[in-house]
Structure 1
């Protein structure tokens, strides 16, 4: 047998032994720069989740049934008080109003004729040409015609008012939040057609435990993430007198200053003084925080050295550090470079 053929299997085994890394070396991730979660003294305030809402927000509904024949606004459009938002099919109502107006004119003509006849009867009675009974009949006909004319005029006015219900107008200056109908939809009394809110009057609403209800001399602050300043001093605040029996919380309302660039539905926080002094708090470097859409998280280094993305709830930033209200414990390690940690598999 050729000696070269005997050496080939041995040479292949040596190459495999040299080129194949050990399983431990293959599983070990590249070292990441990390820092231990620090623990420090807590601030003298506590935060509670809330939401931004409009002080004036109106869901405009139709007062009468009818098909939508014109939609004149879109969501996000600014409108003025009295501006027409949409129209309903009012042909039948307009015809009824015209008929009622014609009946009112006929009743007015009968009243005029009865008035003149009564005046003539009074002159004849003064000259003793007619009896008192004839004068009484003329007066009765006059009063009847006057009452009938008043009733017809009131009916015509009601018809004209009802025909105006087929035109939906803005109750005040504001922004269209939502248009709930399209052409051809059937509007029914009580069904919202357009939602309008006043962007100049906004507030933050939050529910806080009854044990944390602020006193009259407290100074709560509002925060809307992404807006400056970080802490907003409200124009005024109010704690509703009634509590939720299921959650034992009280609703706080903080009116935002005019011109705050917020929108109804945005996430917000309410900060109340009175946090426990000296209580431990958790802080991490601000550059270790990952923000992806609505997710706020950090990469926590596990026992095997691999980073694991974990959602956290952040508190107040302080320079290059930020407080973590929930999601981390003191002593855990977080990756300083989230991008490098995301590439580790």
Structure 2
């Protein structure tokens, strides 16, 4: 071969060599990330009142007066409903009369005891006579105390015929009408606190397990043009054995005014730092029983490595073993296989 031919062959070899080393550098790759973004999850829920009270009857009686209507705002201690309490009031009046009579007997016994003490000091009566007077006074005092307790119980019983608001709230339901017979345990009125509302959603157990400790969320409520950030997020520490879901409660801001039962949609941002490793699912090469990726070395040359993968989260897949954080993997395993 001539000298010119050798020069041409050498130039071609150098050109091919430079191209072979340049191609691996152009290979698209991605970094193995720790705690990669898991995306967002949407769940439907409903607005409910944190404080909602179902007022029921404690005694039997006809509904005599209803002082509020559904939708009214009431103050704590305000009278909401009255039952017919005439029999209870008469019983209370009779008990009060018995108390007054017992107090009169007690006062007379006390005065008699004072006279008997003076006679005893002057030696006009015996000690036994004074002891009998003292016993009559103590018996009268005990009877008066018992009647006072019975009268107090009667007054307390009469208070059961009047229903009052336990806190500031809004009347949401009145399932009775004037003249209805109220029995112990029968619902008479429903009241809720409009400043303490929350959204309750049922989240699948698998999603709840992958949620970060500091979960951020946004709420979309029917009738509102903008989304709302809950002021507090709480997972209930139990799983529904039927649906395999976990209840998530998201408290609404106190100034927000919505009605219990309103439809809501919660957007959960499942993003957070963790010890889990993630790679793009396009980097995974599957051949029969082999699951592997091409890892780029320091010279950007692809090296096939077997890995064990976990569940997929959107475009990312969890790596259980075979990789460490910071390594780079080829996004096109077929192209990497041709360049190794």
CA distance in 1, matches of 2:239, 2:130: 72
Tell whether 2:229 aligns with 1:256.
no
Tell whether 2:134 aligns with 1:139.
yes
Larger-gyration structure (1/2): 2
Which residue number in structure 2 is paired with residue 221 of structure 1?
Answer: 218
Q: Cα gap change, 1:278/1:253 in structure 2, threshold over 3 Å: closer, same or farther?
A: farther
Tell whether 2:232 aligns with 1:236.
yes
Q: Aligned match of 2:269 in 267, 273, 288?
A: 273
How far is 1:122 from its partner? 1.6
How far is 1:207 from its partner? 1.4
CA distance in 1, matches of 2:133, 2:92: 32
CA distance in 2, matches of 1:277, 1:259: 43
Tell whether 2:115 aligns with 1:113.
no
How far is 1:210 from its partner? 2.1
Tell whether 2:181 aligns with 1:182.
no
CA distance in 1, matches of 2:219, 2:128: 82
Residue-by-residue CA offset, 1:199-233 (whole Å, 9 max, x unaligned): 11111111112222244322233221331422x22
CA distance in 2, matches of 1:182, 1:135: 63
How far is 1:278 from its partner? 7.7
CA distance in 1, matches of 2:235, 2:194: 22
Q: Cα gap change, 1:277/1:261 in structure 2, threshold over 3 Å: closer, same or farther?
A: farther
Which residue number in structure 1 is paired with residue 95 of structure 2?
Answer: 100
Q: Quick check: 1:176–1:196 contact (8 Å CA) kept in 2? A: yes
Which residue number in structure 1 is paired with residue 63 of structure 2?
Answer: 68
Q: Quick check: 1:108–1:149 contact (8 Å CA) kept in 2? A: yes
Which residue number in structure 2 is paired with residue 83 of structure 1?
Answer: 78
* TM norm structure 2: 0.66
Question: How many correspondences in the alignment?
Answer: 237
Q: Quick check: 2:220–2:264 contact (8 Å CA) kept in 1? A: yes
CA distance in 1, matches of 2:279, 2:252: 28
CA distance in 2, matches of 1:228, 1:256: 16
Q: Quick check: 2:233–2:249 contact (8 Å CA) kept in 1? A: yes
Q: Quick check: 1:208–1:251 contact (8 Å CA) kept in 2? A: yes
User: SS in structure 1 opposite 2:260?
Assistant: coil
Structural mapping, 1:286-301, within 5 Å: none
User: SS in structure 2 opposite 1:69?
Assistant: strand
Structural mapping, 1:48-59, within 5 Å: 48-59=43-54
CA distance in 2, matches of 1:277, 1:267: 37
How far is 1:141 from its partner? 1.0
Which residue number in structure 2 is paired with residue 302 of structure 1?
Answer: none
User: SS in structure 1 opposite 2:256?
Assistant: coil
User: SS in structure 1 opposite 2:238?
Assistant: strand
Structure 2 unaligned residues grouped into runs of 5+? 1-36, 272-277, 282-340
Which residue number in structure 1 is paired with residue 152 of structure 2?
Answer: 157
Q: Quick check: 1:52–1:267 contact (8 Å CA) kept in 2? A: yes
Q: Cα gap change, 1:115/1:274 in structure 2, threshold over 3 Å: closer, same or farther?
A: same
